[in-house]
Amino acid sequence: MKIPILKNLETEQQWLAFSRQKNTYAYISSPSCLVDFQTSFLLVTDIKKDLSDGRQALKYSLGDRNSQRAAWQLIETCDWSLRKLLAGFKRLDFSSNVRDNSVLNLHSNLSIRQFFAKDKCVISPALLQPLLPIKAPPSHWRLADVKNLLSCEQFSDLQWLSQKPAFSSIKAVLLQLICHAENWRVSMHKDYIVLSCNDTFLLQFKPKLQQLALPAPSS
């Protein structure tokens, strides 16, 4: 299933548009989270910026098993702001029955739970952004730049420095860069960008950026 990425959910109009989607399931860029409203419960997964393993994310479930009305009431009370809703979750004491908390005194059957997500494939929306061509070289090459270069084939003289089977193709390297960026490092050697993973040098290449057309000489 293709999961949409929405910029935010901060107004009534945005929530209503979201609820009219065929699948009310989407990544939200700000705040970074995954929202699922396909049952009478609203599920919100709080995602850290560089999360690559969903099992490390906290998930909140709120609603009434018989109706979506309780969840919608709480969303409206938070001024239709997902950011306020998520901040409210983080202030709750989940060591006791959350239905006794005064902030939730809206509906007798409303309940909220907190637990760790079980889906490893949930990752940060920031890691799913489109990889676009680089137009000009940055002052320092970062992993984000390297992902764009490799995805858009903006490289030349590619040289593999290791025979590890897990990194036998550019596609395999890209997948690891997106999901496990914490293991990778970028360095320079003369004109080459060098990529290493877990302190092992894997490949190097020269960045190949599109040359801008020079203005014609004046006569």
Domain residue limits, the chain: 5-125, 130-207
Tally of CB atoms within 10 A around 171 = 10
pLDDT at 123: 61
Please name the residues in contact with 55: beta carbons below 8 A apart, sequence gap of 6 or more: 116, 117, 118, 119, 120
Residue 148, Cα to own-chain centre: how many angstroms? 16
Band (pLDDT 50/70/90 cuts) for residue 17 is very high
Residues 6+ positions from 112 with CB-CB distance below 8 Å: 60, 61, 62, 89, 92, 98, 99, 104
Average pLDDT over residues 79-101: 80
Q: What's the chain's length in residues?
A: 219
- Confidence band, pLDDT 50/70/90 cuts, at residue 152: confident
pLDDT digits (tens, 9 = 90+) for 21-39: 888 988 898 998 889 997 8
Mean pLDDT for the stretch of residues 81-87: 95
User: Which residues contact residue 4 at a Cβ distance below 8 angstroms, ignoring those fewer than 6 apart?
Assistant: 21, 26, 27
Beta bridge partners of 46: 33, 58
More confident residue, 126 or 158: 158
| CB 33 within 8 Å of CB 44 | yes
Supply the pLDDT for residue 9. 96
| pLDDT given at position 44 | 93
The pLDDT of residue 100 is above 50: no
pTM value? Answer: 0.57
**Of 186, 215, 191, residue with least CA distance to 205:** 191
The runs of H, that is alpha helices, within 46-202 are 69-77, 82-91, 143-151, 170-179
101-143 pLDDT per residue, tens: 445 555 557 788 888 777 655 666 666 666 788 989 899 999 9
Please report where in the chains the tokens 């040359």 appear, as a residue: 211
Helix, strand, or coil (residue 200):
strand
